[in-house]
Amino acid sequence: MTGTGLPLDGVRVVEMTHMVMGPTCGMILAQLGAEVIKVEPPAGDKTRSLGGMGTSFFPLFNRGKRSVVLDFEKPADRETMHRLLASADVFLENFRDGQLEKQGLGTDELRQKHPHLIVAGHKGFLSGPYEHRPALDEVVQMMSGLAAMTGTRDKPQRVGSSANDIMGGMFGAIAILAALYQKRGGRTDGADIRIGLFENCLFLVAQHMVEYEMTGNKPRSMPEREHAWPIYDIFDTAGGGRIFIGVVTEGHWQSFCREFGLQEFAEDPTLRTTTDRILARARIIPRVADEIKRRNVAELSEKLDTLNICFSPINRPEDLLSDPHVLRPGGLVNNVNADGKAFRVPALPIEWNGGHIGEGLKVPVLGADTPAVRAELEGVTSTAKTDRRRA
């Protein structure tokens, strides 16, 4: 499948992953133009049948892929898998160490049979004492301290999305792109890449680890942290709404005080520096809260936008489906689920030559591409045999 005009046009990826991290990697590569062939067991990827918060998992993270069903209990299907890998540039997997060896797809066998292949394994942990453990997004958030920083030490709270799984898939894509770039220099051998969910979460909390390393002070959780700015808070508004406001520069402070009738703060000689204002938050914030509550969210948004001060209404995910910026051309793309129903999804968060990526992607029906891919492989085999005879 070529002719997309996208940067990975002509790259073939064979994906044998499930849940979120591995499929995210494949989904990103597919949107960048790669042909991603998802190999599923006869019963299909288990996330196809998830409900509740998992309803979106399969359609969201498997858009733009082809689905091939192979039963590794059958020697012929194992052979088909190896022929498929021989035609591929990249192999994605996210199984526990040792599982693929049972199916003849272990690292040593892959390296022997397909030395050209870039193999990217999405795992719970990188090599080390914990490499044998399974992991979940919530597990590594608890282990890494991210949950304690998001909530508190007494009441840790996971981030409200599959943030680590998704970011792990992104790191997988970055590493694969690096390996593909390396091949541009004429290198013919592949690469063995391992991406760790736990280490991904460490990357997220590194700022707090390094703070402790440098200062010896234990970082406070986000709800308990010391404020770095005089106004950096959520406020109630008229009409029952809520808004976050962050006043972070001297210019912002002066214009905010002037616009909201707080000139006494701007002229107070005891509030000349940011540090002075932080120390005086106990008297500043109640007064600011009174002024904010006189206005509704729409009025406040207009004023703060004009002043170039950071702000945001307190939204829920469903609110974004009516947000004017999200609804701008290209902000949401239209995709089609395996059942034929259309759904909207945020575009890949980049612009490519001024355009957006991801419009019109389809979620594959289980096994829909098996006959076509088998026929393509037969064609490749037949061509190879003919070439050998001619030689």
Tokens encoding 360? 């019109």
Both 102 and 160 in one domain: the answer is yes
2 in any annotated domain: no
338 in any annotated domain: yes
4 in any annotated domain: no
Both 145 and 40 in one domain: the answer is yes
Catalytic residue status for 369: no
293 in any annotated domain: yes
Q: pLDDT at position 5, please? A: 81
Both 193 and 336 in one domain: the answer is yes
Mean pLDDT of the chain: 92
301 in any annotated domain: yes
Nearest 5°: the CA angle 316, 321, 324 is: 105
Both 105 and 27 in one domain: the answer is yes
Q: Is the pLDDT of residue 385 over 70?
A: no
214 in any annotated domain: no
4: confidence class by pLDDT, cuts 50, 70, 90: low
- Terminal CA-CA length for the chain: 28
Q: pLDDT at position 107, please? A: 87
Number of domains in the chain: 2
- 0.85 cut: is pTM over it? yes
Both 188 and 251 in one domain: the answer is no
222 in any annotated domain: no
Q: pLDDT at position 309, please? A: 96
Domain closes at, from 316, 342, 371? 316
DSSP reduced 3-state for 3: coil
The beta strand positions in the chain, using DSSP E, are 12-16, 35-40, 66-69, 90-93, 118-123, 191-196, 231-236, 242-247, 310-313, 332-336, 342-346
Q: 137 with 160: CB under 8 angstroms?
A: no
Q: d(Cα 192, Cα 115) in Å, to the nearest integer?
A: 10
Both 312 and 333 in one domain: the answer is no
Whichever domain contains 161, its CATH number is 3.40.50.10540
381: confidence class by pLDDT, cuts 50, 70, 90: low
Q: d(Cα 372, Cα 261) in Å, to the nearest integer?
A: 70
Phi and psi for 291 in degrees, rounded to 5?
Answer: -70, -40
Q: How many CB atoms neighbour CB 357 within 10 A?
A: 19
Both 303 and 338 in one domain: the answer is no
Both 104 and 181 in one domain: the answer is yes
Whichever domain contains 305, its CATH number is 3.30.1540.10
141 in any annotated domain: yes
* Residue where the block lists tokens 């520069």: 249
Both 40 and 173 in one domain: the answer is yes
Both 335 and 304 in one domain: the answer is no
Catalytic residue among 89, 137, 165, 369: 165
Both 76 and 165 in one domain: the answer is yes
Q: How confident is the model over 202-249, as pLDDT tens digits?
A: 999 999 999 999 999 998 888 777 777 899 999 999 999 999 999 999
Q: Is the pLDDT of residue 68 over 70?
A: yes
Both 274 and 304 in one domain: the answer is yes
Q: Residue 246 sits in which domain range?
A: 227-316
Q: 217 with 162: CB under 8 angstroms?
A: no
Q: Which residue has the higher pLDDT, 50 or 382?
A: 50
Q: d(Cα 150, Cα 64) in Å, to the nearest integer?
A: 34
187: confidence class by pLDDT, cuts 50, 70, 90: confident
Minimum mean pLDDT among 112-126, 225-239, 337-351: which range?
225-239
Tokens encoding 53? 């918060």
Domain closes at, from 316, 347, 366? 316
